[in-house]
Amino acid sequence: MPSNISSSSSSGNNASLAKTWIRGFDSLIGGGFPRSSFIILAGHPGTGKSTFAIQFLLNGAAMAKETGIYASFLEREEIFIRNMSKSYGFDFKKPLEEGTLQFLEFTPMAPDVVSDTFNMIVKRVIETGAKRLVIDSLNALFVETSPAEQRRILEIVLNRIIKDQGCTVIAILEQSIGKTEIGFGIEEFVADGLIVFESYIEGLEIKRRAIVRKLRGMQHSSRYQSILLNPNEGISFLQLAE
């Protein structure tokens, strides 16, 4: 079992849940994300959003042989993989060779190509039968897109990727420190789940914490958890003391 995988969870595939196998997380959300759900992972810079998202895919590939696609609008594949390997020792070689992890790299979007880009992602999900998709990030994708176009694209995600293909989608939303609203407004409304990662200062130290704001159809924790980022493990969660 890879070292970044929770040993308290059982292995194998569960028909109704997409487990993350991230230590301390699945138990917060009733065992895993409901399959075919649209999850928004919103959070401050440097809180571990991309780490969480890539572990969701790497663990799905290692534990359930599920294909995962990482659609990156922010970071180049080569640099992303190098940094994640260096920080946490993740092994990308096997899933990339097997095709259970696929990286799609895009540059920030001009409004007229957003639609084509999305069609490309849909096509790849269909071709590979991917069961997990990460979009990093919606802000970069929607940088100059009108609310009407955003709504149309989210409908494509919901219908063609999630409903028709049974894919579970994690879309990352970058949140500026000090801003109270989470995203553009429509994404949280259409999402089945909303997980928020925050950074805050305690004494002289930056700390990170996470909370599950909503997860339709599941009983989930309503408490903040500490986010831990460890070399050789990646992200994990721990109940935050009162």
**Which residues contact Mg ion (rule: CB under 5 A)?**
49-50
How many residues touch ligand ATP under the rule CB under 6 A: the total is 14
Stretch of 64-72, 104-112, 123-131, 224-232 contacting ligand ATP, by CB under 6 A = 224-232
24 binding partner (options ligand ATP, Mg ion, none; Cβ < 5 to 8 Å by kind): none
Contact residues for 118 (Cβ-Cβ < 8 A; gap 6+): 153, 156, 157
What Rg value do the Cα atoms of the chain yield, rounded? 17
Q: Looking at this protein, which amino acid is placed at residue 7?
A: S
231 binding partner (options ligand ATP, Mg ion, none; Cβ < 5 to 8 Å by kind): ligand ATP
Alpha carbon distances (Å) from 197 to 23, 102, 125, 137: 16, 25, 27, 14
Q: Is 96 exposed, middle or buried (0-12, 13-18, 19+ CB in 10 A)?
A: middle
State yes or no: residue 51 binds ligand ATP (CB under 6 A).
Answer: yes
Least distance from ligand ATP to the Cβ atom of residue 30, Å: 24
C-beta atoms surrounding 31 within 10 Å: 16
- Residue with smaller CB distance to Mg ion, 49 or 132: 49
- Residue with smaller CB distance to ligand ATP, 12 or 231: 231
State yes or no: residue 99 binds ligand ATP (CB under 6 A).
Answer: no
Contact between residue 63 and residue 8 where contact means Cβ atoms under 8 Å apart: no
43 binding partner (options ligand ATP, Mg ion, none; Cβ < 5 to 8 Å by kind): ligand ATP
State yes or no: residue 178 binds ligand ATP (CB under 6 A).
Answer: no
State yes or no: residue 183 binds ligand ATP (CB under 6 A).
Answer: no
How many whole angstroms separate alpha carbon 239 and alpha carbon 230?
16
State yes or no: residue 45 binds ligand ATP (CB under 6 A).
Answer: yes
Contact between residue 2 and residue 91 where contact means Cβ atoms under 8 Å apart: yes
State yes or no: residue 175 binds ligand ATP (CB under 6 A).
Answer: no
- Residue with smaller CB distance to Mg ion, 137 or 165: 137
> Tokens at residue 12, please?
């194998």
Which chain residues interact with ligand ATP by CB under 6 A? Answer: 43, 45-51, 87-88, 174, 229-231
